[in-house]
Amino acid sequence: MERRTLDNGLRVVLAPDRSAPVIGVAVVYDVGIRSEPEGRTGFAHLFEHLMFQGSENLEKLAHFRHVQGSGGTFNGSTHLDYTDYYETLPANALERALFLEADRMRGPRLTEENLRNQVDVVKEEIRVNVLSQPYGGFPWLKLPPVMFDTFPNAHDGYGSFDDLESATVADAAEFFKRYYASGNAVLAVAGDLDLAETMEMVERHFGDVPARPAPERPTFAEPDLTSERRESYTDPLAPLPAVAAAWRVPDPINDYAAYLPYVVLAEVLTDGEASRLVERLVLRDRIVTSVAGYMGFMGEPWEVRDPTALLLQAHLPPGGDVDKVLRTVDEELDRLATEGLAESELARTQARMATHLLRDTDAALGRALRMAVLEQQRGTPELLNDLPRLVGEVTEEQIRKAAAALVPQRRATIEVVAGGNQ
C-alpha cells in the first residue's frame, strides 16, 4: 500500500494486487447527509446524481458509455459522512477511469436542465424506495429524529419534495465549490496495477485540478440521552408491526478501543440462529419473526463518525406486543452483562466477523472503497488489514460492559403500527 498527497491536496492510496487483471477505483468526498444545510434536505444525494450528468470535457452519458464500453461497472452513493464514486474495470482501462473521475472533479455540468431532470429522478427514487414500500425508510429515516435534536443528525437524508424542488443551479455550484475540492477528496486504486506507472497517470490527470482546500468540518456532537424516547407511526403498507431501538455508542474515530466492543456486541446479539436474541425472541419465545442488530443508521460500522448508535430492529407477528419485545431485550442484555457469554460464543462471533471483513475486501473495488474512507476519516487506510485482528482482540469483559450500557433510559425507539392487510 502506498500513500501520496498531490500538490492540490488530493490524497491518493494505491494497493497493488496482481492476482487478477482487474482494478477498482474509488473517489470519496468528505461531504454527506450531515453536511447539507437546512432548507436543502436531500441535497447531498441530489448532487451525487448531478455528478453523473456530464463534466468539463464529457457530455451527458459519456461516463456511462466509456466505463461500460470498457467492460466495467460504476456507481456512486451518499452516506451520512461521505459521498463516493467508483468503477470496476479491466486493468488495461485504468487510465480511462482516472480521466473520467478527474474530469468531473474539475467540474460537473451544472445546468438548469440537468438539475430539474435529476430532481425528478430523486423524487421518483423516494416514491419507489420509501413512499411505496412497506417499512420504507424504517428505521434509517424514522429513528434519527427520535434520537437526535440537531438538524444535521435528525433530518431526512432523502429530502422533502419542497426542498428538492426549490434547489437552484447556484446552490449546486456553491455546494460543489465548498465540498468537492481536491483537498476534500481521496482517490484510492486497488488491483492489478504498477505503483510507479499508476502514480504517473494520477499526476497527469489529477495534478492540474485546481487546488481548493477542504472546508472546516463542524462538530455534529450531541449529548447522550438521559431518558427514554419513544414514538410510533402507522405505515399504511406494512402488513405486520415492527420496532427499532438505538443506543448511542462511543466515538468510532477518537475512542476506537471503546467503540469496537459494541460492534462485536451487535453480532453476538443477532448474528445467526445461535445468537442471543434470535434464539430467545425468534426460536424460543416466538414474539418476533425476525431480529437484526448493527452499527450505524446505514449499517456501516467501519465508515461512520460520531454521533452514531447501535441499532436493533425486529418484525413482529400479527398482534405482536412491542412492550414485551423491549422487556425481553432488556432481560437478555442484563443477563449478558451479569452472567457473561457462553463457552465459545465470543470466539464463534469473532470468527464470523473476520470472515465477513475479509470477504468484503476480497474484490479490488471493496478494498479501494474501504481504503478511501479509512484515509478520509482517519488517515490510516492500512487499518483495513488490521480489522480482523482488532475484532478478535475484543474481550468478554468489554462485551459485558457494553451490554450493561444499553439501558432503557439511554434508548430511542420507533414503533411501526401495521396499517396494511394482516
Phi, psi of 102 (to 5 degrees): -65, -35
Burial of 254 (0-12, 13-18, 19+ CB in 10 A): exposed
> Would you state the pLDDT for residue 347?
95
CA nearest neighbour of 165 among 279, 64, 42? 42
For 193, phi then psi, to 5°, come to: -140, 155
pLDDT reported for residue 191:
97
Q: What is the pTM of this model?
A: 0.96
Q: Is 293 in a helix, a strand, or coil?
A: strand
Per-residue pLDDT tens digits for 401-417: 999 999 999 999 999 99
Contact of 31 with 80, CB cutoff 8 Å: no
Q: How far apart are CA 83 and CA 65, in angstroms?
A: 22
Question: In sequence order, which ranges of 127-158 are alpha helices (DSSP H)?
Answer: 144-147, 151-154
In the numeric block, which cell numbers belong to residue 260?
469496537
Tell me the three state secondary structure of residue 48: helix
Q: Cβ-count burial of 226 within 10 angstroms (0-12 exposed, 13-18 middle, 19+ buried)? A: exposed
Q: What is the pLDDT of residues 371-408, one digit of tens each?
A: 999 999 999 999 999 999 999 999 999 999 999 999 99
Q: Which domains does the chain have, with CATH numbers?
A: 2-207 (3.30.830.10), 229-418 (3.30.830.10)
Q: Are 288 and 326 in contact (CB under 8 A)?
A: no
B/e letters for 168-195, b = 16+ CB within 10 Å, e = fewer, are eeebbeebbeebbbbbbbbbbbbbbbee
Q: What is the pLDDT of residue 420?
A: 66
User: Which pLDDT value is given to residue 421?
Assistant: 58
Q: How many Cα atoms within 13 Å fall on the side-chain side of residue 206?
A: 32
Residues of the chain with pLDDT under 70: 420-422
Identify the three-state secondary structure at position 29.
Answer: strand
pLDDT at 343: 86
Dihedral of alpha carbons 338, 402, 227, 280, sign? negative
Spatial separation of the C-alpha atoms in residues 278 and 395, rounded to whole Å: 22
